[in-house]
Structure 1
Amino acid sequence: MLLEGVEIVLVKTRFPENIGMAARACANMGCPCIRLVDPERWDREKAAPLATPKGQDLLDSVQLSSTLAEAVASSTLVLGTTARTGGWRQALLAPAQAAREAAAALSRGERVSLVFGPEDRGLNNEEIIHCQRLVTIPTDAAASSLNLAQAVLLMLYECANAVRAFRAPPGAKKAETAGGRAVTADEQERLMAALKSMLLSLDYLHGDNPDYFMLPWRRLFNRAGLRRHEYDALMGLCRQVRHKLN
């Protein structure tokens, strides 16, 4: 499939009909996987008519997760969508920019998660922490909220275009990535937890909301595209600092 390696992650979706329409969008754009995180209601029979015949296999293979962290654990690039800006939501990408990053990751054989929040409120602050990059779809200010399936289709369309543009010409040798494989979302969360623990021990982080003050560090490592050997070195540093402090 064109977007092999891309996973659509729908968080706390309220209406199974929207899942069906998202499945149709996935089938249209060649995306093979839908993951549902703690859906409010999951009823395949209600989703099926909106998925059309092409989306039925996707509904059959829907994967359920209890948490967003679990759903994106194996991905190396996690792109979250948001209509809101400011505060926790900084350095937002346009869909085409995000799609180019996704295409580059896919070309290296990595997995990419596209994350969408509930229809009525979108992703909350605790959920966007698990997204390495945030994407916003520009709309008219008077109507900034998109239908869930519309947003899924638009993001997949941009990713499909980016993948086509990124593909090497026939016969070209695929470039090897220096430094080994990229870290997964699960590994990056472990690193953030270790870094947070170290910074709290150093009294660098303080106050009632250390997670908010960790956001600049998260953005730094999200942009860095850490490789596994860099992850190992940083985890070792955190362990040594905590050891010396104890």
Structure 2
Amino acid sequence: MLDELVVVLFRPKYPENIGSAARACLNMGVSRLVVVDPYNFNMDKALPLATAHARHILTSARIVDTLAQAVEGCTAVFGTTARTGGWRKGIMNPETLANVVDDRLRTGGRVAVVFGPEDKGLTNEETSVCSGLVTIPTSREDTSLNLAQAVVVVLYECFKRSLAGPFVPDGPPEERPTTIKEQEALFGNLQETLLAIDFLKDDNPDYWMLPVRRFFSKINLKRNEFNLLMGVCRQVRWFVDKYGPQAGGGAK
């Protein structure tokens, strides 16, 4: 059931942690491992930590240059974080994340969970492409977890949730979920449209788009719904271009 769950290690510093993460993937039934721009990667140092059992996961892991490449084709991306507050709202615990991931996978999606560098984690810019964030509650004495520890905790909850019951298709197949690339295209179109009707502020539109992004992160947006919203945006832009933003009693 976790065949379409992808573990993404973003700029990990230590090859040993990559090997341990591969072993954690095997333990929890995950075969897709992607490593983004690793620092000083050394397969000889990583292999012993993967053990002979998870060797195939480590050696078949994709190594890419960017986060965008790592999540290509995914319909949802969830980032891990130890920092909360500020822009980082609605953060889930691993159990809650597992329920969301299970729902996305059972409807035909591919989900990525992104783990940041050991020393500083994911930045705000990197989390901006995420559908949601997850944090692992810890004692206040030390909130830092080893990378592989974090991977196994999150994957354990996903694995446990996947055992709750078999997936039994009911009725005709649903429209496929949208990919992250499609969602970003929609957000870009929405932002331009909301600026055109003076709904967003010109000074920092990316900031004012955050509530819109959070709203859509709660929805397993399907391709037909994506087409509908893109069409609405096109029609609104056509109307504004022809009549202006105040036509028909527009935003003040």
Name whichever structure is richer in helix by fraction: 1
Instruction: Report what 1:74 is aligned to.
Output: 73
Task: Tell me by how many angstroms 1:179 deviates.
Answer: 5.2
The residue aligned with 2:166 is 167
Secondary structure of 2:119's partner? coil
Which digits, 9 at most, give the CA deviation of each residue in 1:205-240, with x for residues without a partner? 235432222110001111121111110011111122
2:201 corresponds to 1:206: yes
Match of 1:34 in 2: 33
The amino acid of 1:32's aligned partner reads S
2:110 is the counterpart of 1:111: yes
Partner amino acid, structure 2, of 1:90: K
Per-residue deviation at 1:26?
Answer: 0.6
- CA displacement at 1:177 relative to structure 2: 7.3
For 2:6, the equivalent position in structure 1 comes to 7
| Cα distance in 1, alignment partners of residues 209 and 70 from structure 2 | 22
- Would you say how many aligned residue pairs link Structure 1 and Structure 2? 241
Asked if structure 2 preserves the Cα contact closer than 8 Å seen for 1:108 and 1:177, the reply is no
Q: Which residue of 1 aligns with 2:125?
A: 126
**Contact 1:103/1:166 (8 A) holds in 2:** no
* Contact 2:10 2:36 (8 Å CA) reproduced: yes
Normalised TM-score (structure 1): 0.92
Partner of 2:83: 84
Where does residue 188 of structure 2 map in the other structure? 193
List alignment gaps of at least 5 residues for structure 2.
242-252
Larger Rg: 2
Aligned to 1:216: 211
Note if 1:183 corresponds to 2:178: yes
Quick check: 2:6–2:32 contact (8 Å CA) kept in 1? yes
Give me the whole-angstrom Cα distance separating, in 2, the residues matched to 1:42 and 1:175: 45
Q: CA deviation at 1:104?
A: 1.8
C-alpha distance in 2, partners of 1:13/1:123?
A: 11
Retained in 2: the 8 A contact 1:77–1:111?
yes
2:247 matched residue in structure 1: none
How far 1:27 sits from its partner (Å)?
1.1
Greater shift, 198-207 or 64-73, is seen at: 198-207
What residue in structure 2 maps to residue 53 of structure 1?
52
> 1:236 and 2:235 equivalent?
no
Q: Could you say if the C-alpha distance between residues 185 and 177 of structure 1 is closer, same or farther in structure 2, counting changes exceeding 3 Å?
A: farther
Separation of aligned partners in 2, 1:210 and 1:70: 25
Does 63-72 or 31-40 show the bigger shift?
63-72
1:14–1:208 Cα change, 3 Å: farther
**Would the aligned equivalents of 2:108 and 2:177 in 1 still touch at CA under 8 Å?**
no
Alignment-derived partner of residue 134 in structure 2: 135
Aligned to 1:225: 220
- Percent identity between the two aligned chains: 47
Secondary structure at 1:165 match in 2: coil
Q: Deviations over 1:142-180 (max 9, x none)?
A: 211111100000111110000001424xxxx42357751
CA separation in 2, counterparts of 1:123 and 1:33?
20
SS in structure 1 at match of 2:54: helix
- Structure-2-length-normalised TM-score: 0.90
Q: Extract unaligned runs of 5+ from structure 1.
A: none
